[in-house]
Structure 1
Amino acid sequence: MHSMTLYQKLAWSFIFIFSLLCALVFNWNKQLEQSAQDHAQQNLHLQLAEHLVNDNPLIKQGVYDYKALENLFHTLMILGPAFEFYFVDSTGKLLTYSAKPGQVIKQKINLIPIKELINKTSTTPIYGDDPRSNTQKIFSAAPVYNQQQLQGYLYVIIGGQTFDTLLNNIKSNDILKIGAIGFVVAVITLLIIMLILFRFFTLPLTQLNNEICQIRAANYSLTKMTQSPRYSGNNEIGNLSKGVHGMLSRIDEQLKSLQQADKQRRELLTHLSHDLRTPLASLHGFIEVIKKPKSHLNEHEKQHYLSLAMDNCQQLKLLIEQIFELAHLESGQVKINTETFNLGELIYDCLAKLALTAQKAGITLQVIPEICDFTVTTDIAKLERILTNLLENAIRHTPEKGTISISVSQQSEQLYVTVSDTGIGIHEDELHAIFEPHYQARNSIKRGTSGLGLAICKHLLTLMNSNIEVNSTLGKGSQFRFNLSK
């Protein structure tokens, strides 16, 4: 069983509250109308009983012929059918009355309301007992004396049963029915209008709920949704819908980024496993050859195999160091320690460190301009690592008799360092991928490369708030350019 929607809850709540309020207002209005009517009627006939006592000799003398008094009451009722007449003694007992025998069910009434009315100790309307029913009605009353001695009270009910019957008949006529029907129609019309307004106001919430249900069915992925419903109203619900879709789009992007990073990490592990396995296998093979008791190797051959084993050990050590360095950079825990130093001195130190390697490869190293006197403020150790990686990468991909140069130029408050080579170059469609960990260009010359050097450079320059750019022409060489703040 489905739970009620917000609109249904609001509609039923409104109907209940509206009906209750209508009932309360109707009842209050009816009571107010009756009270106002009783107040007017009682004030209008307040002196009626007193005038009857003073103007009628039969009552005024205080000598009562109850039969004659009863006939008088009947006569008065004919003249005023809206009244009922009673004569009660000083204790409230009925002595005679205008009603027919059998219609009076009370033979004694409460005198407190009568005394309140006579003494005017309470405000009207004042209600007294109706001897013909168990209800309370407005009345007029006056004391009757005989030689200064209280004989009883003339008690006149205003609006007796005859009057009530006639009034009820009038209320049930066609005019009042039409009025009542008009009132009911107006109330129903108002109710329908309010329900339509509720529907109008809750429709955006319903549409937003449908969106959320479809998004949940698509496992909170916008790309998996067969359709993308969207409430685009310029209000709070519209802003909420835009926020939900924007949040989901951002989550989709982050999820794709995580999936791509996970894919790259798996590929990196695969390549690293291969690169670790290769020098380990070579190292194991050379040591195994040297260790054989009957290898019949002379001293020169042993030294040659040991040298090859040392080269593989060095390559393995370099690869492991780069793996740890890249992992440390990706963890986000690396800090930048800035200091001011001469950039030219650092460049020449890096060239001197790699001069022997370049000389063995038949490569010329140069600095442009030769007198490189520029001052920078940055992390000297990380900049040295960047320059060393770029130079090593250039040496690996530059053939014999090639040239590698480091040039420095100044533009405004920025220094631009460019590492250029006359090597094999990079295919244009691979330029965007060479900074990914362990990416190898398809024309790469693998002189002990690990494929992590450029990725480390990219991470270090990002930490130093610098950007690196690459331009390359296949067969002519490559240029790596980054900026530094003075």
Structure 2
Amino acid sequence: MKSLFSRLLLSASVIVFILILAVWQWFQFSQDFSRNQVQQSLHQELALHMAHINPLLSQGITSDAALKEAFHDFMLLGPSFEIYTLDTLGKVIAYDANQEKIKRPQISTQAIEAFIQGDELPIKGMDPRSLDSDKIFSAAHLQDASGKITGYLYVIIGGEDFDMWQSLVSEHQAPRILGGMLIGSSIFALLLFALLARYLTAPLSKLEQDLRLVETQKLADGLSLSHDYRGSIEIRQLSLHIKRLLNEISEQHKSINRQQQARHDFMLHLSHDLKTPLTSLQGYIDTWLLLPAHERSSDLIEVAANSGKYIQQLLSQMLELAALENGQITPDFKETKLSLLLGELKQYFTPRATSQNIQLDFEVDERLSIFTDPQLLMRVLSNLVDNAIRYTPSGGIISIKLITANINSEDHGIWLSVSDNGSGMHKHELQALQQMRNKPSFKHDDILPQLGVGLAIVRQLLGLLKCNIDIDSTPGEGSCFQIELQKI
């Protein structure tokens, strides 16, 4: 029962069978109601005529042994009639039956009075021979010579014998009726199922055919369904979900391709970054080894050592970038004195800047406090200053200043400017880095291979700190990075 076909068949069969049973019950009820109404209407004045015909009953006599003979004559009307005389309170006085058959010696006169008053038929009254059934009847008042009501003549229409024969006939015909109902309902259910299955499964068949066509589509060109579906709301929703999933698969495929291409370009760029210091390191060491012992200079070893430090720094940055991409670093926001952070930054880079004849100009209000992760912001500024020192010529200036507005921003907040007068960046590099302004959070495929590991780390860290950035750079004139800060 897991297939759609079997479920539809079972549902259609059960529904049709229940409907047929309900119709049958309604038909039986309607038939009984109509039969009772007709029979009671035909015999409505039966008791009245019987009371007038019989001389004893016409005198209002209700309890007399002579009534037995009159009852016997009346029974010639047929075994389906049972005749009783009642007193004014409904007590059974006389009857043509064995005493043990009388189960109700007292019956209610309310239905009898309603019948005599001419209420709408059919009206059922108590059956003296049964404790739990009511039957249609005919009734009339019995009056004495003075016109005083002495009781009732109560005639049951369809008595005990009639019920017995009707039960026998019903038991004989019940298997035929039930069998006919089952066969008819089965045939009707199959026909209904065939129509429903054809109508309901047509959109599913169409959807299944389109999904087969999806297998022939190229993932690089995108996956899609070729039709719209007008079936039930479930079919339409299913098709919409499938279209959405196919679109997501196509987008993820494109994203994976972009990520693979970005990583490929990143590895090429990284190989170039590693190749230069490695070649320098190997060259100076080989030169030092080839020279005679008395001609060897410590300058060669010092240059080789600097190349080794640069390789070490580059490898550390790669590990840091991997940690950022894997989500292993989470920010810890707190109140931070910006002047203390810049003072530590200047102290760290002063020896290196001095050796290259580069001036560091850090100016900030000592009272200003910001809300950030000081360690992550320190690493952002360290990478920017490190790149600035690397590309700024001798005699250049690297400055960090606080500005209160940014001309490219819709908000007028607190911005920190990091600028230099170095070599600057080319247009394609600037466009790649400008993506940070439009993407407050970064995914693994958002690597910027053309900018190097340092600026890729900057980009990831600013995403964690939820900081916006603007970049202005001109080749040969320098660069200016403006970072938005959250003021306390």
Could you tell me the TM-score, scaled by structure 2's length?
A: 0.57
Q: 1:440 aligns with which of 434, 450, 473?
A: 450
Is it true that 1:472 corresponds to 2:470 in the alignment?
Answer: no
Q: Report deviation, 1:364.
A: 3.7
**Closer, same or farther in 2 for the Cα pair 1:469/1:413, shift >3 Å?**
closer
Is it true that 1:126 corresponds to 2:158 in the alignment?
Answer: yes
Q: Report deviation, 1:360.
A: 4.5
Secondary structure in 2 matching 1:224 = coil
Q: Report deviation, 1:284.
A: 4.9
Structure 1: how far apart are the matches of 2:225 and 2:294?
75
Structure 2: how far apart are the matches of 1:241 and 1:324?
45
Is it true that 1:460 corresponds to 2:461 in the alignment?
Answer: yes
Amino acid at match of 2:369: V
Q: Report deviation, 1:453.
A: 1.1
Q: 1:407 aligns with which of 401, 412, 415?
A: 401
> Larger RCO: Structure 1 or Structure 2 (Cα < 8 Å, ≥ 6 residues apart)?
2
Secondary structure in 2 matching 1:472 = strand
Structure 1: how far apart are the matches of 2:364 and 2:264?
46
Q: Report deviation, 1:282.
A: 5.0
CA deviations 1:157-199 (Å, max 9, x no partner) are xxxxxxxxxxxxxxxxxxxxxxxxxxxxxxxxxx9xxx9xx98
State the partner residue of 1:430. 429
Amino acid at match of 1:127: G
Is it true that 1:327 corresponds to 2:342 in the alignment?
Answer: no
Structure 1: how far apart are the matches of 2:13 and 2:300?
92
**Closer, same or farther in 2 for the Cα pair 1:353/1:4, shift >3 Å?**
same
CA deviations 1:8-43 (Å, max 9, x no partner) are 877666544433432332233223323444445566
Amino acid at match of 1:218: V
CA deviations 1:254-311 (Å, max 9, x no partner) are 55445533543454345445544554565456556656xxx45235535344223312
Secondary structure in 1 matching 2:157 = coil
Q: Report deviation, 1:322.
A: 0.5
CA deviations 1:82-104 (Å, max 9, x no partner) are x8779xxxxxxxxxxxxxxxxxx
Structure 2: how far apart are the matches of 1:34 and 1:267?
94
Q: Report deviation, 1:417.
A: 0.9
Amino acid at match of 1:229: D
Amino acid at match of 1:457: V
Amino acid at match of 2:366: D
Structure 1: how far apart are the matches of 2:102 and 2:54?
19
Could you tell me the TM-score, scaled by structure 1's length?
A: 0.57
Q: 1:264 aligns with which of 225, 239, 262?
A: 262
**Closer, same or farther in 2 for the Cα pair 1:214/1:286, shift >3 Å?**
same
- Which ranges in structure 1 are unaligned for 5 or more consecutive residues? 64-72, 77-82, 87-109, 138-190, 442-450
Note if contact 1:232-1:242 (Cα within 8 Å) is conserved in structure 2. Answer: no
**Closer, same or farther in 2 for the Cα pair 1:284/1:396, shift >3 Å?**
closer
Note if contact 2:229-2:235 (Cα within 8 Å) is conserved in structure 1. Answer: no
Q: How does 1:57-456 map to 2 (within 5 A)?
A: 121-122=128-129, 123=135, 124-127=156-159, 129=161, 135-136=165-166, 214=210, 218=214, 223-227=222-226, 229=228, 253=251, 256-273=254-271, 275-276=273-274, 279-280=277-278, 283-284=281-282, 286-287=284-285, 295-301=290-296, 303-367=298-362, 370=363, 372-377=365-370, 378-411=372-405, 414-434=413-433, 437=447, 439-440=449-450, 451-456=452-457
**Closer, same or farther in 2 for the Cα pair 1:53/1:14, shift >3 Å?**
same
CA deviations 1:126-178 (Å, max 9, x no partner) are 33558xxx9359xxxxxxxxxxxxxxxxxxxxxxxxxxxxxxxxxxxxxxxxx
Q: Report deviation, 1:325.
A: 1.1
Q: Alignment RMSD, CA only?
A: 5.1
Structure 1: how far apart are the matches of 2:426 and 2:305?
34
Note if contact 1:127-1:136 (Cα within 8 Å) is conserved in structure 2. Answer: no
Amino acid at match of 1:125: I
**Closer, same or farther in 2 for the Cα pair 1:374/1:39, shift >3 Å?**
same
Note if contact 2:224-2:246 (Cα within 8 Å) is conserved in structure 1. Answer: no
Computing the radius of gyration from Cα coordinates, the structure with the larger value is 1
Amino acid at match of 2:431: H
Amino acid at match of 2:327: G
Note if contact 1:413-1:485 (Cα within 8 Å) is conserved in structure 2. Answer: no
CA deviations 1:401-424 (Å, max 9, x no partner) are 443322211359942111122233
**Closer, same or farther in 2 for the Cα pair 1:406/1:209, shift >3 Å?**
farther
Q: Report deviation, 1:340.
A: 4.2
Amino acid at match of 2:308: C
**Closer, same or farther in 2 for the Cα pair 1:85/1:382, shift >3 Å?**
closer
**What count of residue pairs does the alignment treat as equivalent?**
362
Structure 2: how far apart are the matches of 1:277 and 1:112?
124
**Closer, same or farther in 2 for the Cα pair 1:475/1:250, shift >3 Å?**
same
Structure 2: how far apart are the matches of 1:128 and 1:343?
108
Structure 2: how far apart are the matches of 1:301 and 1:213?
79
Amino acid at match of 2:128: T
Note if contact 1:128-1:136 (Cα within 8 Å) is conserved in structure 2. Answer: no
Q: Report deviation, 1:389.
A: 1.0
Note if contact 1:416-1:483 (Cα within 8 Å) is conserved in structure 2. Answer: yes
- Which ranges in structure 2 are unaligned for 5 or more consecutive residues? 57-65, 80-95, 106-126, 130-134, 136-155, 168-187, 406-410, 437-445
Note if contact 2:432-2:448 (Cα within 8 Å) is conserved in structure 1. Answer: no
Amino acid at match of 2:315: I
**Closer, same or farther in 2 for the Cα pair 1:208/1:373, shift >3 Å?**
farther
Note if contact 1:231-1:241 (Cα within 8 Å) is conserved in structure 2. Answer: no
Amino acid at match of 1:316: I
Secondary structure in 2 matching 1:218 = helix
Secondary structure in 2 matching 1:19 = helix
Amino acid at match of 1:482: I
Note if contact 2:265-2:450 (Cα within 8 Å) is conserved in structure 1. Answer: no
